[in-house]
Structure 1
Amino acid sequence: MDDLLSKVLDLQGAWTAQNTEEMQKRGVCIRQEIPDLLREQSAGLAEALGVTRDMLGIEGRDGTGLKTEVPWVRVCDPVMSPSATTGWYVVYLFSGTGDRVYLSLNQGTTVWTGGDFKARRIEDLRARVGWARPLLAEKMATRTDLCEEIRLDARTPLGRGYEPGNVVAIEYSREALPAQERLLADLCYMLGLLQTVYAAERLTPHIPGDPSPEVLEAERSAAATAGRRGRGASRTGRSGQGYRLTSAERQAIERRSVNVASAFFAAQGWKVQDVGTRESFDLLLKRGDERLHVEVKGTTSAGHDVILTRAEVEKQRKYYPANALVVVHSIHLDRTGVEPVASGGNLHCTSPWKIADEDLSVISYAYRTAVGRDDGDAEVQSALEVLKKGPRRASPALQAPAGPQ
């Protein structure tokens, strides 16, 4: 193992995007030799990650077509991390200068919206790192050789892009690579940390830095309605892309947010009426001659984005300035019982609520096609007339001969 890592590091000095002889040698080592060696150790690695051997994912990549500056070999649960662009995994990252390799607990830098991949912002990657590190604090306390920052010395943006996604890493210098036994022990240790992250991810409805579950669900639903091929959900309700709320969980969050908002306004002397089942808004408030039409949104996320229907936007613009938007964010959702239980939450109220066009993002469009228009109908009718007349007979000059000439 140490010989293979050293071989890749030696070839890093000859990096070029072209498929030169050196890059071909590097590719064989990254895509075949290192993964094959790790597969020979799959029983111990799978045990460390808490999965069966057939559920252990091992792969290496050095670029398709053009060769990447920072090649990698990763180990993961492919259900939780279907590709290197999504989810959490443990990965060997080779520096651009070839003087060090990191064994990093890292993450994908994109999120699947249902229609395409969207790059995560650096601040979102760091927020996810900030969520993961406290989970590992106790286990990390036993090691003094861990680093929270990695330096890949890459010249390309893609190579540098791995750095903000690092949760924790072990650095190996080319001059002091440990023996295979130590390298495998370190890999098992890092996979144990990854198992902890996976376990926490299965239970949490929202990880800081992720899009809100409501926005992701709307994007996925819009993509499915439009006939876009989607990524299947995992056994955990995730596929490395973010948690998908069940109907019961959505209802629990909605009830909690309406209850919090109702208590908030009642404390201010408003008479609160829940009209959400029959109106395009949630609460009708009365206080003397005053009226307030309130839209309530609840979310387990930080509440930076919420979903509005077209009817909600149109009605709230009509009610302005006698209207309000209440966002109850950071709701805690307990999924351990038979039924989900929502609690907590922080309330933010905007009133009067003026909806500006620049604050609205289009998730999908309803497009009027030519079907049903006059010109489309004419084309259809013409085709139908041809069908009614039956197949045309070929003219004598074009008919095939009946037999040999």
Structure 2
Amino acid sequence: MIDELRQVCALQPQYSPENTPPMQERSRLIRQALPAAFRGLENDLRAALGGFADTFTVGASDGIGRKTEAPWVRICAASMSPTPRDGFYVVVHFAADGSAVFVTIGCGSTIWANGELRAVSDEELTKRRAWARSVLEERFGSIAPFTDEIRLGARAALPKTFEKATAVAKRIEVSDLDDDAFRYLLIRATRMLRALYHAQRQGSHLNAATLAEAQLEAISRPSRAAIAGQGFRLSAAERKAVELRAMEAARGWLESAGYRARDVSGSASFDFEALKSGDLVKVEVKGTTGEGSDAIFMTKNEVDLHTSERGRTGIIIVSNIKLDRRSGEPVGLGGDLFCDMAWDIEAWDKVPMAFKLVRKLA
């Protein structure tokens, strides 16, 4: 494997967008030799992917049509990253001057639009990177040894998006390439990738409304949902654990704020009757493993209630709930609270997510 990596690095300074003899050899190394070498570590890499190993895959590219300055080889679970434009993956990059190899964890940096590849916005890539790093730091305590900046030195615009899409990276100088050390980095990065996949399965990269939309998609178009959500789907037990944690956190906040809270979720189209100083507020509680509280899902009955009783209803959104599965059954923990006890639903946009269609009678 190290020989092939060094050969690619030696060819990098001879880069041409045309299919010159050096680029033909680089293409063979990128598309054939290196993926074959990575598959030689398949048992170790599958073990590192854990429960996602059943769709283990290795892919590579040196350009579509014209050659790119920044060839790459990636490792992923196809269920979580069906194409290089979707999800997260371990990816090996090469410095344009051939001086170094980078082992990284990155995400899709392009989208198809009007028949061509276009870069994802810098704002969106920054958000994806920050989310991935926060997950890894929480899970492993640090992102070490992937603490380097990635600078490929490419001149074209598209390869520069690879740098922006890199969450963590380790730079290895060509002179320092070593079989055992490189193998360790690939396996370590793949274990970290598994942590990101677990977080995605919980939906921690999505807001509450998007999570609900993914659940609706899973019901109506299950094959499409697996692609659009990169494998995200909570089980019934996990959804129940999230709901229970949200109710627990909401009750705690209400009582600490001086309200007397009565759980009416089993019989009403809201969750708590909150009484304080003679004023009764009907409180809706939403829980999510996703981040942020800027979007939620509501049923028609819930929307009707908050619309007809504006000024007398409240909303509590508990986001970033973690799922602990160590005891077998999932348990919801933690969460960040957004509370508004004088909620105005008309200050929020209503976006249709699904329709119930009933056949008209003749």
| TM-score, normalising length: structure 1 | 0.70
Gaps of 5+ in 2: 112-118
Q: Which residue of 2 aligns with 1:319?
A: 309
Secondary structure class of the residue paired with 2:345: coil
Percent identity between matched residues is 28
CA distance in 2, matches of 1:149, 1:15: 23
Q: Which residue of 1 aligns with 2:261?
A: 272
Deviation at residue 150 of structure 1 after TM alignment: 0.7
- The one-letter code matched in structure 1 to 2:281 is L
CA distance in 2, matches of 1:284, 1:261: 12
Secondary structure class of the residue paired with 1:162: helix
- The one-letter code matched in structure 1 to 2:214 is R
Corresponding pairs, count: 350
Q: Which residue of 1 aligns with 2:173?
A: 172
What's the CA shift string for 1:274-305, capped at 9, x where partnerless?
A: 22233222112234542212111112333333
Q: Which residue of 2 aligns with 1:218?
A: 212
Gaps of 5+ in 1: 113-117, 234-238, 378-405
Secondary structure class of the residue paired with 2:337: strand
CA contact (8 A) 1:272 1:285 kept: yes
CA contact (8 A) 1:70 1:159 kept: yes
- The one-letter code matched in structure 1 to 2:181 is D
CA distance in 1, matches of 2:243, 2:94: 47
CA distance in 2, matches of 1:297, 1:189: 42
Report matched runs for 1:29-108 at 5 Å. Answer: 29-40=29-40, 42=42, 57-78=57-78, 81-95=81-95, 97-108=96-107
CA distance in 2, matches of 1:48, 1:267: 44
Deviation at residue 133 of structure 1 after TM alignment: 4.2
- The one-letter code matched in structure 2 to 1:106 is I
2:130 aligned to 116, 126, 129, which one?
A: 126
Deviation at residue 342 of structure 1 after TM alignment: 1.9
CA distance in 1, matches of 2:221, 2:47: 40
CA distance in 2, matches of 1:46, 1:253: 30
Q: Which residue of 2 aligns with 1:236?
A: none
Moved more, 2-11 or 307-316: 2-11
CA distance in 1, matches of 2:218, 2:233: 14
CA distance in 1, matches of 2:267, 2:47: 54
CA contact (8 A) 1:136 1:193 kept: no
CA contact (8 A) 1:127 1:208 kept: no
Report matched runs for 1:231-380 at 5 Å. Answer: 232=226, 241=230, 243-287=232-276, 289-304=278-293, 305-356=295-346, 359-364=349-354
Across the aligned residues of Structure 1 and Structure 2, the Cα RMSD in angstroms comes to 4.0
CA distance in 2, matches of 1:253, 1:111: 33
CA distance in 2, matches of 1:228, 1:204: 20
Secondary structure class of the residue paired with 2:8: helix
1:230 maps to 2:236? no
Deviation at residue 319 of structure 1 after TM alignment: 1.5
What's the CA shift string for 1:182-208, capped at 9, x where partnerless?
A: 1x3123211331353255457657789
- The one-letter code matched in structure 2 to 1:318 is S
CA distance in 1, matches of 2:110, 2:219: 20
What's the CA shift string for 1:6-28, capped at 9, x where partnerless?
A: 44345444555555655444322
Q: Which residue of 2 aligns with 1:382?
A: none
Secondary structure class of the residue paired with 1:107: strand
- The one-letter code matched in structure 1 to 2:133 is V
- The one-letter code matched in structure 2 to 1:103 is F
User: CA separation of 1:240/1:229 partners in 2, compared to 1, >3 Å: closer, same or farther?
Assistant: closer
